[in-house]
């Protein structure tokens, strides 16, 4: 009888240890999948950026390692005709620019969702062109404007922008950017990291703090192939909020890490505006999002183009959804 008790006691403990180890692995996996942002140290920023040399001639533009400064720009000329200052900056029609004295290391399409924010757009364009040229990158800016028929759909406009851009030219990197955010630190390089990057970490309207741990809104960068992998944004979020959290979930559920630069570098000033009408069922859509990633996104777009204009500072695409 004693031998039987020893036998059961031995195998009971032998079974407990694997269960404990398995439980620990599950906890580690959960932390990795749902809470972790990897913060790239300042000294490793350029090592983590993915270089795409568009022109194979001339020397590469320098990294500007010492350019860790806050960008200063007087906005007194913002009301001047954009044709004048765009010409002075040598911006091509349609909002494209590349450095002339060296070959750009990075090439990026900047996509902006837009409706009824003319003053913000004017300030943003004047500011962002000056900022990006300081970084010696190749870039082109696309503004995707939604008509008035339905509530604003930020994620859908990003998907439309992506789809229209790659018809024209396959940029290796995309930056999805709100029109009311202005980057501050020149070391916040507008290029893609090896993994999707949340760029607008410290925003003025939130006291230059992250509003919540998994916040993924404002400005994000992602490689073209990674955006295709996650099937873009959801097209279901009409009204304010939810689409950026869903996008974060898509990325993590695809097995990709999400990275940030430090808050000092990822700092943005805000242009004031009233918050939009909240999406009434955003929490339910977030909860059930994992069920529809494969059928809701780039592969389920429905829209029509009403107007496409190569403006002095950007490509303007007006869409009906």
pLDDT at 288: 83
- Per DSSP, helices labelled H in 65-169 are 82-88, 118-134, 154-168
Mean residue pLDDT of the chain comes to 88
pLDDT at 54 over 70: no
Q: Of 3.40.50.2020, 3.20.20.10, 3.90.870.10, 3.90.550.10, which CATH number belongs to 40-320?
A: 3.90.550.10
pLDDT at 65: 56
pLDDT at 292: 87
> Which of 85-94, 267-276, 284-293 is modeled with the greatest confidence?
85-94
Of 4-13, 98-107, 140-149, 189-198, the poorest mean pLDDT is in 4-13
pLDDT at 35: 53
Higher-confidence residue: 278 or 290?
A: 290
How many angstroms separate the CA atoms of 274 and 35, rounded?
Answer: 30
Beta strands 173-177; 219-223: pairing state: antiparallel
pLDDT at 2: 60
Beta strands 96-97; 138-146: pairing state: antiparallel
pLDDT at 28: 45
Whether residue 260 contacts residue 214, with contact meaning beta carbons closer than 8 Å, is answered with no
Secondary structure percentages of the chain, helix, strand, coil, to 5: 35, 20, 45
pLDDT (average), residues 204-231: 95
pLDDT at 9: 55
Of 16-20, 36-40, 62-66, 151-155, the poorest mean pLDDT is in 16-20
Higher-confidence residue: 116 or 285?
A: 116
Local confidence band at 320 (pLDDT 50, 70, 90 cut-offs): very high
Helix (H, G, I), strand (E, B) or coil at 248: helix
pLDDT (average), residues 282-300: 88
How many angstroms separate the CA atoms of 224 and 162, rounded?
Answer: 9
Please give the model's pTM, rounded to 2 decimal places.
0.87
Instruction: Give the helix/strand (H/E) hosting 74.
Output: none
pLDDT at 29: 46
pLDDT digits (tens, 9 = 90+) for 78-131: 878 899 999 999 999 999 999 998 999 999 999 999 999 999 999 999 999 999
pLDDT digits (tens, 9 = 90+) for 240-265: 889 999 999 999 999 999 999 999 99
| Tokens (6 digits) for 14 | 């032998």
């Amino acid at each position: 009888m004693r031998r039987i008790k020893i036998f059961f006691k031995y195998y009971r403990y032998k079974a407990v240890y694997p269960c404990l180890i398995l439980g620990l692995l599950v906890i580690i996996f959960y932390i990795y999948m749902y809470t972790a942002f990897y913060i790239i140290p300042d000294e490793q920023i350029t090592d983590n950026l993915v270089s795409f040399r568009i022109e194979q001639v001339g020397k590469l533009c320098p990294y500007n390692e010492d350019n860790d400064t806050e960008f200063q720009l007087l906005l007194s000329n913002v009301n001047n005709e954009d044709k004048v200052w765009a010409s002075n900056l040598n911006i091509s029609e349609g909002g494209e620019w590349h450095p002339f004295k060296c070959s750009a290391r990075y090439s990026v399409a900047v996509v902006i969702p837009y409706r009824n924010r003319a003053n913000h757009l004017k300030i943003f364009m004047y500011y962002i062109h000056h900022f990006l040229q300081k970084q010696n990158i190749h870039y082109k800016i696309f503004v995707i404007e939604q008509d008035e028929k339905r509530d604003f759909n930020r994620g859908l406009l990003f998907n439309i922008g992506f789809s229209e851009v790659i018809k024209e030219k396959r940029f290796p990197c995309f930056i999805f950017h709100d029109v009311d955010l202005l980057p501050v630190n020149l070391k916040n390089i507008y290029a893609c990291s090896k993994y999707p990057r949340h760029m607008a970490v410290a925003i003025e309207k939130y006291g230059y703090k992250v509003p919540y741990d998994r916040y993924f809104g404002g400005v994000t960068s992602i490689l073209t192939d990674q955006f295709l992998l996650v099937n873009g944004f959801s097209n279901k979020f009409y009204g304010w909020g939810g689409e950026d959290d869903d996008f974060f979930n898509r990325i993590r559920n695809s097995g990709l890490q999400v990275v940030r630069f430090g808050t000092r570098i990822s700092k943005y000033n805000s242009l004031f505006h009233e918050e939009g009408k909240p999406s009434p069922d955003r929490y339910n859509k977030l909860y059930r999002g994992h069920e529809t990633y494969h059928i809701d996104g780039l592969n389920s777009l429905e829209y029509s183009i009403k107007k496409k204009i190569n403006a002095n500072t950007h490509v303007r695409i007006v869409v009906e959804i």
